């Protein structure tokens, strides 16, 4: 590939991550303190990609206003997918903006530059496509591939059989024939899927290569997964959790205790007697009050945690206020997502954008609070609360 361009798929909402995605798409949710999509861009550029074509749709303004027309001196152009009609449809919308072969990557999952480099290196002109694959104990929730001597023999979503599937990492190199195959594939349930087009090529005997990589791949499917994502980024060294490094642009009181791994973004303030960490991510302009305790949590920008509050295994949106003396004790808890209840998940609570907790509030593990909810003093919060409501004790 002489001109290394990448189509980045960033048009979807991420409905299973509601209510965090009510105001922004999944690629803009925080992994540590940076949007998932920013991590994706960094890894692409580190792997030598020199042009980014980003397919946007749901809340596209959040992507475009954040990144603009360049990132790290690499040009970004945007393609609008008016309706989210599948990954195949998204790829075809961007086809005219790239030269082939080109890279295609999901913008809502973190992959390291090693994976990108491995799939680029494995591709050759004899193949119509190359797919990045990983060895994982659990493949079923995602996509899988069977490979024989470096050649993909089957591609499928959510594989159910006992065959030794490799995980489809969502990183591809596509030749023109692959775009043609996606175009020729019938939509399924109203959506056109990239994997269906590649599967048709495999069935027709065309060469689809599998590039097995040892790189890092992490994904958040449900709200509590953001806690696991940040922990894995710390444990693998992808994010430096040294408190002295991450807190250089923060104000940390001499009587506060900060226990790594943590990442503390700029303009944060941690008050006297507060205990922060381990496994805590503080976005920009977060304030932690005196004697507050904060562990194993992802706290987004402009959030305030009041004095004497206890916050464990919590995920917040932006602009959240957790009042003085409130208690989020940590999981496990039962979490309702849509019509499904997930039992014993390690989630103390999720508070979406601009939730206001007036203080002295107790949270039952697994609570999900929708955006712009006002919770009065002394309330006990349990289950799922719709956004925009006032909750009294």
For 255-278, write each residue's pLDDT tens digit: 999 999 999 999 999 999 999 999
pLDDT tens sequence across 343-361: 999 999 999 999 999 999 9
Residue 3 scores a pLDDT above 70: no
- Asked if 94 contacts 56 with a C-beta cutoff of 8 angstroms, the reply is no
Residue 1 confidence (pLDDT): 44
Say what percent of the chain tops pLDDT 70: 99
User: Which residue, 93, 140, 40, 143, is CA-closest to 132?
Assistant: 143
Domain ranges of the chain: 5-219, 241-391
Nearest to 129 by CA among 157, 92, 100: 100
Closest CA to 294 of 254, 334, 326, 248: 326
HSE, side-chain direction, 13 A CA sphere, residue 220: 35
Model confidence over 214-266: pLDDT tens digits?
999 999 888 899 999 999 999 999 999 998 887 788 999 999 999 999 999 99
Helix axes 60-67, 36-46, angle to 10 degrees: 50
Residue 338 near residue 17 (C-beta atoms within 8 A): no
CATH T-level topology, domain 5-219: Spore Coat Polysaccharide Biosynthesis Protein SpsA; Chain A (3.90.550)
99 or 297, greater pLDDT:
297
pLDDT for 363: 96
Query: pTM of the predicted model, to two decimals?
Result: 0.91
Q: How confident is the model at residue 393 (pLDDT cuts 50, 70, 90)?
A: confident
2 has a pLDDT exceeding 60 = no
Closest by CA position to 147, among listed 160, 135, 158: 135
74, exposed or middle or buried, with CB in 10 Å at 0-12, 13-18, 19+? middle
Is the CATH code 2.160.10.10 the one for domain 241-391? yes
Would you state the torsion angle of the CA atoms of residues 234, 235, 237, 239, taken in this order, to the nearest 10 degrees?
-10
Whole-number pLDDT of residue 288 = 98
Which class for 161: exposed (0-12), middle (13-18), buried (19 or more C-beta within 10 A)?
exposed
What's the mean pLDDT when you consider all of the chain? 92
């Amino acid at each position: 590939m002489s001109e290394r361009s990448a189509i980045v798929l960033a048009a979807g909402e991420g409905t299973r991550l509601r209510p965090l995605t009510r105001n922004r798409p999944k690629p803009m949710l925080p992994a540590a303190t940076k949007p998932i999509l920013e991590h994706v861009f960094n890894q692409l550029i580190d792997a030598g990609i020199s042009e980014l074509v980003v397919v946007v749709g749901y809340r596209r303004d959040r992507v475009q206003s954040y990144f603009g027309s360049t990132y790290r001196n690499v040009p970004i152009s945007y393609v609008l997918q008016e309706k989210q009609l599948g990954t195949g449809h998204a790829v075809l919308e961007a086809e005219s903006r790239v030269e082939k072969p080109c890279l295609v990557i999901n913008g809502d999952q973190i992959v390291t530059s090693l994976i990108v480099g491995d799939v680029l290196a494995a591709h050759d002109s004899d193949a119509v496509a190359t797919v990045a694959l990983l060895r994982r104990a659990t493949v079923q929730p995602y996509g899988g591939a069977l490979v024989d001597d470096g050649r993909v023999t089957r591609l499928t979503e959510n594989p159910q059989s006992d065959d030794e599937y490799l995980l489809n990492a969502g990183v591809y190199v596509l030749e023109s024939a692959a775009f043609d195959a996606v175009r020729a594939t019938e939509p399924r349930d109203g959506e056109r899927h990239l994997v269906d087009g590649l599967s048709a090529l495999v069935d027709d005997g065309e060469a689809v290569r599998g590039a097995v990589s040892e790189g890092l791949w992490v994904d958040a499917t449900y709200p509590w997964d953001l806690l696991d994502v940040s922990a894995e980024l710390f444990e693998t060294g992808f994010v430096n959790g040294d408190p002295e490094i991450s807190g250089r642009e923060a104000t940390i009181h001499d009587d506060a205790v900060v226990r790594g791994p943590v990442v503390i973004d700029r303009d944060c303030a941690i008050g006297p007697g507060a205990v922060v960490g381990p496994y805590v991510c503080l976005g920009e302009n977060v304030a932690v009050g005196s004697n507050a305790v904060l562990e194993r949590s992802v706290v987004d920008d402009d959030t305030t945690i009041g004095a004497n509050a206890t916050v464990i295994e919590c995920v917040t949106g932006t602009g959240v206020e957790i009042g003085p003396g409130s208690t989020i004790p940590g999981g496990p808890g039962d979490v309702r997502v849509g019509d499904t209840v997930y039992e014993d998940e390690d989630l103390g609570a999720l508070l979406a954008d601009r939730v206001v907790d007036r203080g002295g509030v107790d949270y039952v593990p697994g609570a999900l609070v929708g955006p712009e909810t006002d919770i009065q003093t002394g309330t006990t919060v349990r289950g799922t609360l719709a956004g925009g409501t006032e909750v009294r004790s």
